[in-house]
């Protein structure tokens, strides 16, 4: 999974590269199972078996949720760590951020699906912009 994610993010740099890499890797693990010793051939077989139109949508939404969670947490995590008086309170902050990211991505994705537009690079950029606006409360 690490090698595949690395290939997919090779054009990105710095923190953005790390966040993309982490979200891609986790997305792939969700898709084919959490077996870190899976071979590339087995990965291809499992991934291909489960990738139809519906699964592609699920895969993209999961990636977006994970990416935006990691991005928001990267920006806010230390503040929450400072605010939390207990480890349980800190975990609650993590869960809250995760839930907000999930709701925002799901809402924007649902709106996108209703348009029946193809997911091309322009549409993807628009989706990302709308998710960012939703997370900021714009």
57 pLDDT exceeds 90? no
Give me the number of domains the chain comprises. Answer: 2
136 shares a domain with 85:
yes
| pTM (2 d.p.) | 0.84
pLDDT on residue 99: 97
Domain that holds residue 98: 52-138
29 shares a domain with 60:
no
135 shares a domain with 99:
yes
88 shares a domain with 46:
no
| pLDDT bracket for residue 1 (50, 70, 90) | low
Helix (H), strand (E), coil (C) string for the chain: CHHHHHHHCCCCCHHHHHHHHHHHHHHHHHHHCCCCCCCHHHHHHHHHHHCCHHHHHHHHHHHHHHHHHHHHHHHHHHHHHHHCCCHHHHHHHHHHHHHHHHHHHHHHHHHHHHHCCCCCHHHHHHHHHHHHHHHHCC
42 shares a domain with 17:
yes
60 shares a domain with 43:
no
| pLDDT bracket for residue 134 (50, 70, 90) | very high
pLDDT on residue 54: 60
């Amino acid at each position: 999974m690490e090698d595949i994610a690395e290939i997919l993010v090779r054009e990105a740099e710095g923190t953005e590269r790390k966040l993309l890499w982490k979200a891609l890797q986790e997305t792939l693990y969700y898709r084919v199972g959490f077996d870190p010793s899976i071979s590339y051939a087995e990965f291809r077989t499992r991934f291909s078996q489960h990738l139809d139109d519906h699964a592609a949508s699920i895969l993209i939404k999961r990636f977006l949720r994970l990416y935006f969670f990691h991005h928001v947490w990267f920006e806010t995590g230390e503040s929450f760590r400072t605010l939390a008086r207990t480890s349980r309170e800190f975990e609650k902050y993590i869960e809250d951020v995760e839930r907000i990211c999930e709701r925002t991505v799901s809402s924007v994705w649902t709106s996108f699906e209703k348009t029946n537009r193809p997911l091309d690079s322009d549409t993807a950029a628009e989706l990302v912009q709308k998710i960012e606006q939703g997370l900021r409360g714009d």
